[in-house]
Amino acid sequence: VTQDYFSDGSDKSPRYYQVLAINKTIEAIARGRNRILLVMATGTGKTYTAFQIIWRLWKSRVKKRILFLADRNILVDQTMTNDFKPFGSAMTKIRKRHADKSYEIYLSLYQAVTGNEEEKNIYRQFSPDFFDLIVIDECHRGSAAADSAWREILEYFASAAQIGLTATPKETKAVSNIDYFGDPIYTYSLRQGIDDGFLAPYKVVRIDLDRDLTGWRPDKGMTDKYGNEIEDRIYNQKDFDKTLILEQRTRVVAKKITAFLKQTDRFDKSIVFCENIDHAERMRQALVNENPDLVAQNRKYVMRITGDNEEGKAELDNFIFPESRYPVIATTSKLMSTGVDAQTCKLIVLDQRIQSMTEFKQIIGRGTRINEDYGKYYFTIMDFKKATELFADPDFDGDPVQSYEPQDDESPVPPDVFEEDQSENDVTYPETGEDRERPGLVESGVRRYVVANVEVKVAAERVQYFDAAGRLITESLKDYTRKALAREYASLDEFLSQWSRAEKKQAIIDELSEQGVFFDALADEIGQQSGKEFDPFDLVCHVAWDMPPLTRRERAEQVKKRNYFTRYGKQARRVLEALLDKYADQGVIHIEETQILTIAPFTEFGTPLEIIRAFGGLDQYRQAVNELEQALYSA
């Protein structure tokens, strides 16, 4: 209990909720509890929390030999190279079914230590009391075989303390994380993470396509592009990209993704979730076709990252690392839905039917990480298949638990993907193997039809916003903003007074953003109505108090007309005129920082020190900038 946390001398230390989780776990183990469940939302640092728990128990020699289990190679490799790196030579990854007993920290896939044949169960090469502690990452996950595999390992090492980590525990009558581990010793939810500012909030762009809403029926005797006669029935969203491929639909989705990135930033990291590997490959090609200029610069601008694609998997680390520019857009099916620490991912595209709350939360978790160094404070979800209707489910805002009650003849293991109504459409679609390469055929013998000439259009598009508590804002953006501002300021005079007194205007903008004011969205909406661009000050005054807005250029021109600069010397006057032009082009935030003096055109006026001396010193320079702002906003 008294063992210190690990510190590498940097500023990184556990956040308050991680400290609570670590301390509660250490104290429980000190009291003799051997089954512990930690529930922490995706993106809140479960693995780092686990590292600090293991570090303290290992350094104090309370637990000498530890096994960390995960179900994907990338989770194990990321853990070794990132959070667990301080363990150094004491750590190993179990490979090639070989049990080397000379280490103290072991990391492994479930699959690497178990098998269908007894001789493949490598864990039995260790004695049942070999490990003192076992940590199971994402303990909710896996198929029936995988679930039984990790449970089999835990029961073999029953004497070890066992910690389960998950963002979404599974609860069924027959299979229960809570039944095995006990009630969670600590829970930190997605809503708490957003409220605390540790997880990025999000907006949703919901796009409905006409064929998804109305369905499509082929003409009698119609054949697909490979000559296969298409079964005569109505095809709908359940079928698209599974039993029926509408090539125009894929093109429309790729066009909308590309248009969004062109309006924001074409180098924002983006993940496109598709129905299967075949769909992910077609989407990759469609995005390549829509972005020929950037693909010509680097063919890795768009890549498919799926389980069967070695080239794509090799680029996964580059997609994750903030410093790496490429790949920018990753198309995937299942591989990237969990455990991928994509801190700078700003766009999540859902072109996949998702009806499992567990899977939905995991996928949304790919966007929730914040990275201030790279300007990642929020993310956008672009939804083509109504997946975001799950936001309305009480379980999304409530306890992160999936409930499932199997019938007598059903598997006790909860499905990772929601079971749709059984029908003739219920087909298993191969993701690897020869059949995937043969157009118009799926594994069960049911054909996958490919239709090239059926037109698909956008039927409806709307942007949805979520407040600080994760609730959908259903009123108009202006009405919502007006109410949010009324909570902060009783009157226009109060707002103007605070704005005038603020040393930096950006501080007020940031505070209002945290209180739920969507400045970018407001600027888009009002800009579309007026054909002009306004800065946050005018947006606030216009929306909350119906003041006529002025553009930055209009405000700058009014200051110039008043001969404002005549009281300054020649050099100071030139600097202030340049600051005014910068404000007109880029906004108030850019003129508040002295770093602006290091770029053109200010470099023409001298060094930053020489420029500041022209005003009489740093305090006088800052006062001049403040007075310039007062002049701008008194217009």
Note the pLDDT tens digit of each residue in 509-546.
888 887 778 888 788 888 877 888 888 999 999 988 98
Please indicate, yes or no, whether residues 443 and 545 belong to a single structural domain of this protein.
no
User: Within a domain: residue 268?
Assistant: yes
Domain termination site, one of 493, 518, 549: 549
* pLDDT single digits (tens) 317-344: 888 888 889 999 999 987 766 556 677 8
Cβ atoms of residues 74 and 320 within 8 Å: no
Angle at 102 between CA 99 and CA 106, to 5 degrees: 60
Residue with the larger pLDDT of the pair 58 and 517: 58
The tokens for 612 are: 């500041």
Q: Is 377 in the same domain as 246? A: yes
CATH of residue 112: 3.40.50.300
Q: Which domain holds residue 237?
A: 197-458
Q: Higher confidence at residue 435 or residue 229?
A: 229
Q: Average pLDDT, stretch 12-37?
A: 91
d(CA 398, CA 504): 38
With 0-12 / 13-18 / 19 or more C-beta atoms within 10 angstroms meaning exposed / middle / buried, residue 45 is: buried
Structure confidence at residue 95 (pLDDT): 78
pLDDT at residue 44 in the model: 84
pLDDT band for position 579 (cuts 50, 70, 90): very high
CA atoms of 553 and 471, how far apart (whole Å): 37
Handedness of CA 488, 491, 497, 499 (dihedral sign): positive
Note whether 402 and 281 are same-domain residues.
Answer: yes
Rounded to whole angstroms, the Cα distance separating 127 from 124 reads: 7
The per-residue pLDDT for 130 is 93
One domain, residues 557 and 540: no
Report CA dihedral (411, 416, 418, 421) to the nearest 10 degrees: -40
Burial class of residue 506, CB neighbours in 10 A (0-12, 13-18, 19+): middle
State residue 526's pLDDT score: 85
**378 & 448 share domain:** yes
Rounded to the nearest 5°, which phi and psi values hold at 306? -135, 170
Dig out the tokens for 332 from the structure: 């995937």
Assess if residue 7 is contained within a domain. no
Listed residue (565, 569, 567, 538) closest to 554, CA to CA:
538
Q: Is residue 467 part of a domain?
A: no
Query: Model confidence at 254, in pLDDT bands (50, 70, 90)?
Result: very high
Q: Give the chain's domain count.
A: 4
pLDDT at 411: 39
Euclidean distance between CA atoms 275 and 351, whole angstroms? 7
Please check whether residues 40 and 125 belong to one and the same domain.
Answer: yes
Tokens of 624: 């001049």
pLDDT for residue 427 is more than 60: no
pLDDT confidence band for 293 (50 / 70 / 90): very high
Of 166, 188, 210, which residue sits at a domain end? 188
Q: What is the largest distance, in Å, between two alpha-carbon atoms of the chain?
A: 90
Per the domain annotation, does 571 fall within a domain?
yes
CA dist 533 → 15, 519, 529, 571 (Å): 39, 12, 10, 31
**Residue 368 pLDDT greater than 80, yes or no:** no
Residue 419 predicted with pLDDT over 70:
no
* 94-108, 346-360, 415-429, 503-517: segment of lowest average pLDDT: 415-429
237: Cβ–Cβ under 8 A, 6 or more apart, which residues?
A: 212, 353, 385, 386
Mean pLDDT value across the chain: 80
Calpha distance 484→374 (Å, rounded): 28
Kindly state the tokens that stand for 209. 């396509």
pLDDT in the model for residue 340: 67
Structural contact between residues 308 and 320, judged by C-beta atoms closer than 8 angstroms: no
Q: Place 474 in a pLDDT band, splitting at 50, 70 and 90.
A: low
What was the pLDDT predicted at 115?
57
Helices (H), 587-617: 608-614
Q: For residues 289 and 404, state if they share a domain.
A: yes
Residue 131 lies in a domain: yes
**pLDDT, tens digit (0-9, with 9 covering 90-100), for 256-287:** 999 989 988 899 999 999 998 999 999 999 99
Name which residue leads in pLDDT, 239 or 82.
239
The Cα–Cα gap between 261 and 345 comes to 12
Q: Are residues 491 and 444 in the same domain?
A: no
> What pLDDT, in 10s, does the model give residues 190-215?
778 877 777 777 778 888 899 998 89
Residue 10 resides in a domain: no
Domain boundary among 500, 532, 549: 549
Q: What is the mean pLDDT of residues 88-107?
A: 85
CA atoms within 13 A on the CB side of 404: 26
Lowest mean pLDDT among 33-37, 134-138, 320-324, 425-429: 425-429
Question: Are 248 and 343 within one domain?
Answer: yes
Q: Is residue 215 part of a domain?
A: yes
pLDDT of residue 70: 83
If asked whether residues 498 and 397 sit together in one domain, one would say no
Q: Are residues 296 and 402 in the same domain?
A: yes
Tell which wins on pLDDT, 14 or 109.
Answer: 14
pLDDT category of residue 140 using cuts at 50, 70 and 90: low
Residue 117 located in a structural domain: yes
Choice among 102-111, 199-208, 424-433, 625-634 with the minimum mean pLDDT: 424-433
- Tokens 């198929």 locate to 143
Residues 221, 182: one domain? Answer: no
